[in-house]
A and B are shown apart, each in its own frame.
Chain A
């Protein structure tokens, strides 16, 4: 059952990932990218990481995809002419793939027969975030607030000049 589900989600995710990489129409590529995020959320659900899956949909489909789509909308629309095949890209992609493969094989914690881990509940995640990891959480909050204020300062129109 899980294998079948994995195969379906994998085909779905890979199809949309390929579409996102190859589609010459930027907006279609961006929307395929969003569909691929849903597929990745499906993997998280399959692994029992419900919270991570929901956050994946929330952040990536709800926010990042909208951001990408607006970026495309607000920049120039015409499609780039086809540049032909580039061997440099193939080498970089191959290197990244080899590196990831090496890391996956070397990691001992991931084995085919996964040990029975009790599924993390949202409550446990919340408790850990609020006790053990409270300083990193606060730092991230301060950083994001600074980024927000910085973005506002950048786009704020100067009233004295008008």
Chain B
């Protein structure tokens, strides 16, 4: 078997599965069957990854905190998600009497649906984009923006003060960090000249001097935009340094307070799927998609590279969770509007400088200089330490 055959094995498999239908049924039916097949594979892969990730996260966090983590169910505790899933399924589904039943029921479905839809546009390998859309990046963010409405529905439908407060916090931080998230993507879109994820991946296929990959993360503006994108992604998926919406020491579990059993599991799943989607887009935009880091490693199939890069980003998500404490709401908002947003705009300008000075070493220098100047100026103006005074406690004396 040649290299290309392994690379395209899933494409051939799908063609083989569809071949009995071809020519016998009308074209639109074939198209629908083909799409359903894509959806089934997408769900299968990412729900498995979700199960794996949930147990790996607990294991890695355990290792970071000097304990074992789950190790009872199956070899190395690998069957823990099965046990968790059964537990969640047979739990009683409690709906509060005063809840808005319809909205309360629809909210977890909508949250999970938006996360799954966003996964549909990411190129997982050569010719392996489930749904090719010309404005794929725009689709990702359009779908992502409806999550806010779903979170609001969860908070309002529960008719509980903790739920409502949690939903408010979640929407506030999602709207605030959506801006740097989208603007951090703009430099890549500007340089490539396309909103199509496949085009963006193809633009990163070249190598400098024959070995250094042409990934956008290796340019000054790309590196800055990648960091901004990653931090905003942490916020959008409500992960730990920014998990204010579900701060359990303050508001029980935020908008998920009144959910139990499988509906709670759906929220949990949506959080992980959202994480996969944001990491997948980061891989596509900045880390060269499914391209190998060195040309001589091209014999390894493209989807292996994609999922390897995805795993690195997911590990970083867990790592950050094991390392950083939760920050306060006001700190988070200040960070978004006073630092992230100006830096994101700087990336746009820096990439324009890069584009017009002609991609050489000089371009590297000038675009780095733009970012450095803005960073230094911002850090001088945002001297938050000025306001620090001896702390007084009003209630806990």
Contacts and interface: CB of A to CB of B under 8 A. Distances in A.
A31 B153 contact: yes
B138 A54 contact: yes
B203 interface: no
Interface stretch (A65-73, A85-93, A108-116): A65-73
Main secondary structure of the interface of A (DSSP, over half): helix
Interface in B137-157: 138-139, 141-143, 145-146, 148-149, 152-153, 156
Contacts of B57: none
| Residue in A28, A63, A66 with the greatest tally of chain B CB atoms within 10 Å | A66
A122 interface: yes
Interface in A34-78: 34, 50-51, 54-55, 57-58, 61-63, 65-66, 69, 73
A1 B30 CA distance: 13
Contact of B135 (A31, A62, A69, A122): A122
Contacts of B195: 122
Contact of B149 (A54, A62, A121, A123): A62
B145 A62 contact: yes
Given A58-B138, A62-B146, A62-B149, A50 B133 contact: yes
B152 A66 contact: yes
Interface in A3-48: 27-28, 31, 34
A4 B214 CA distance: 46
A80 B141 CA distance: 37
A54 B135 contact: yes
B146 A57 contact: yes
A111 B103 CA distance: 41
Contacts of B93: none
Interface residues of A, number: 21
Contact of B142 (A1, A34, A57, A122): A57
A51 B138 contact: yes
A50 B134 contact: yes
Contact of A123 (B141, B145, B193): B193
Interface string B181-212: 00000000000011100000000000000000
B135 A51 contact: yes
A151 to B, nearest CB: 14
B195 to A, nearest CB: 5
A69 B142 contact: no
Contact of A27 (B28, B103, B143): B103
A67 B1 CA distance: 57
Given A61-B149, A65-B149, A66-B152, A28 B103 contact: yes
Contacts of A27: 100, 103, 156
Nearest to A120: B134
B152 A69 contact: yes
Given A54-B139, A66-B171, A73-B156, A122 B145 contact: no
Nearest to A2: B28
A28 B135 CA distance: 31
A123 B175 CA distance: 27
Interface in B224-273: none
Interface string A105-146: 000000000000000011100000000000000000000000
A149 to B, nearest CB: 14
Contacts of A31: 103, 149, 153
Contacts of B152: 66, 69
A69 B141 contact: no
B146 A61 contact: yes
A15 to B, nearest CB: 14
B109 to A, nearest CB: 13
A28 B102 contact: yes
A104 B147 CA distance: 36
Contacts of A73: 156
A55 B139 CA distance: 9
Given A50-B134, A65-B149, A58 B28 contact: no
A61 B150 CA distance: 11
B194 A123 contact: yes
A65 B134 CA distance: 26
Interface in B88-141: 100, 102-103, 133-135, 138-139, 141
B167 to A, nearest CB: 10
B138 A62 contact: no
A49 to B, nearest CB: 11
A129 B149 CA distance: 30
Contacts of A122: 134-135, 138, 194-195
A56 B195 CA distance: 17
B135 A66 contact: no
Given A27-B100, A66-B171, A58 B193 contact: no
Given A28-B102, A57-B145, A61-B149, 7 more contacts: A28-B103, A58-B142, A62-B149, A65-B149, A69-B149, A69-B156, A122-B134
**In the complex, the 4 A-B pairs of residues with the closest C-beta atoms, listed nearest first:** A62-B145, A58-B142, A57-B142, A1-B28
29 contacts: A1-B28, A27-B156, A28-B103, A50-B134, A50-B135, A54-B142, A55-B138, A55-B142, A57-B142, A57-B145, A58-B141, A58-B142, A58-B145, A61-B145, A61-B146, A61-B149, A62-B146, A62-B148, A63-B145, A65-B149, A66-B171, A69-B156, A73-B156, A121-B134, A122-B134, A122-B138, A122-B194, A122-B195, A123-B193
